[in-house]
């Protein structure tokens, strides 16, 4: 098991954030929620970033954090101030008596520059999954000079990193460079850890491909072409968020891919969307590259500017996938 001070902090912080986001989901995502209302995930995003930033300041006061959120909108309008009050409400159990100013300061700790050694956080990865009561993830990673050295994923709706289970114990995964990938539950005192390994499947036809439930996230038509070009016969696995990385690391599938949407060919992935998940898969024995087979380069600020898309596999079907990507011009 990985027991560095950085890993201990990250595991505890992600567990706490995962439990808070689950509480927000339970209390705010109700049948009465108006379609298109994203306020629950907004509250969950800010709440998770606030608590992780607070815990980081306590554990490593000089550490840098690059987060997805900033607090400017929370004080500019009546709607923002109402959201801030909800965030304070959910933080009360973790940070009793926290003032609005303190909460905003914690959130804005995530505005550090993405350079040198820093942490990066996606407080709720998988907006639609969160709102459906389905898969989402809290993703925290430590990056050192462009390379991910430590990653933690909190997946409240996964059990054992591989089995979707709403309301179950959840999963927290930790991976460190050269030390493997391990899974436990989101319970704060759970010290039962199991090492994860990707699926041994080498038969390309049996490749189980993760497909985003949210179609805007990838080129769905081209994904079908890719599967055909590879000769895939296995049924795809519908799943959003970095929870896909967790299931891939646990052997519950063989391949995930982020193709470029036809409407956004110049899009480049954000670092917080890929950092934690990529090392979780790599340390479980898998392989993660871009669509051209290049390693992901986290040295270009907040986006993977030097990479097109993402391909993650169990390693054994990776070359076949790259060949198929070239064949279809992806």
Question: 49-66: per-residue pLDDT in tens?
Answer: 999 999 999 999 999 999
Domain total of the chain = 2
- Residues 95, 153 share a domain: yes
Choose one of 148, 165, 195: the last residue of a domain: 195
Choose one of 176, 195, 214: the last residue of a domain: 195
Domain at 120, CATH number: 3.30.540.10
- Residues 307, 177 share a domain: no
**How do beta strands 65-67 and 117-125 pair?**
parallel
- Residues 161, 283 share a domain: no
- Residues 136, 35 share a domain: yes
Residues of the domain holding 215: 204-327
- Residues 299, 264 share a domain: yes
Tell me the C-alpha distance between 123 and 295, whole Å: 24
Choose one of 172, 195, 218: the last residue of a domain: 195
45 catalytic? Reply is yes
Q: pLDDT tier at 160 (50, 70, 90 boundaries)?
A: very high
Burial class (CB in 10 A: 0-12, 13-18, 19+), 227: buried
- Of 45, 122, 125, 273, which residue is the catalytic one? 45
**Structure-token match 């991976």, residue found:** 175
For the ranges 1-10, 87-96, 172-181, 262-271, which has the lowest average pLDDT? 262-271
pLDDT one-digit tens code per residue, 243-258: 999 999 999 999 999 9
pLDDT, average across residues 120-141: 95
37 catalytic? Reply is no
- Of 47, 127, 201, 207, which residue is the catalytic one? 127
**Could you give the dihedral angle defined by the CA atoms of residues 184, 187, 191 and 196, in that order, rounded to the nearest 10 degrees?**
0
* CA 271 vs CA 38, 108, 223, 243, 320: distances in Å: 23, 18, 23, 16, 26
Sheet holding 255-258, edge to edge: 237-238, 209-211, 255-258, 310-313, 287-289
């Amino acid at each position: 098991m990985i027991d560095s001070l950085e890993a201990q902090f990250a595991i505890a912080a992600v567990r706490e954030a995962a439990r808070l986001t689950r509480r927000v989901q339970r209390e705010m995502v109700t049948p009465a929620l108006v379609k298109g209302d994203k306020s629950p995930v907004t509250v969950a995003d800010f709440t998770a970033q606030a608590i992780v930033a607070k815990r980081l300041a306590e554990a490593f006061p000089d550490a840098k954090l690059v987060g997805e959120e900033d607090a400017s909108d929370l004080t500019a309008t009546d709607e923002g101030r109402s959201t801030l009050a909800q965030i304070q409400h959910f933080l009360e159990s973790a940070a009793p008596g926290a003032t609005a100013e303190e909460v905003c300061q914690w959130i804005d700790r995530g505005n550090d520059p993405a350079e040198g050694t820093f942490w990066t956080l996606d407080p709720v990865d998988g907006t639609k999954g969160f709102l459906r009561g389905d898969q989402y993830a809290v993703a925290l990673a430590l990056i050192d000079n462009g390379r991910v050295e430590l990653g933690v994923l909190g997946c409240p709706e996964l059990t054992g990193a591989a089995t979707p289970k709403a309301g179950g114990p959840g999963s927290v995964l930790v991976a460190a460079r050269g030390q493997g990938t391990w899974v436990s539950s989101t319970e704060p005192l759970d010290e039962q850890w199991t090492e994860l390994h990707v699926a041994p499947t080498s038969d390309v036809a049996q490749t189980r491909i993760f497909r985003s439930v949210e179609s805007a996230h990838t080129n769905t038509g081209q994904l079908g072409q890719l599967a055909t070009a590879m000769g895939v016969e296995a049924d795809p696995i519908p799943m959003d968020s970095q929870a896909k990385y967790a299931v891939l690391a646990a052997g519950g599938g063989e391949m995930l891919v982020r193709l470029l949407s036809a409407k956004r060919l110049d899009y480049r992935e954000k670092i917080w969307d890929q950092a934690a998940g990529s090392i979780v898969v790599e340390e479980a024995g898998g392989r993660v590259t871009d669509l051209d087979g290049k390693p992901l380069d986290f040295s270009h600020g907040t986006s993977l500017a030097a990479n097109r898309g993402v391909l993650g596999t169990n390693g054994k079907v990776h070359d076949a996938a790259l060949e198929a990507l070239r064949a279809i011009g992806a």
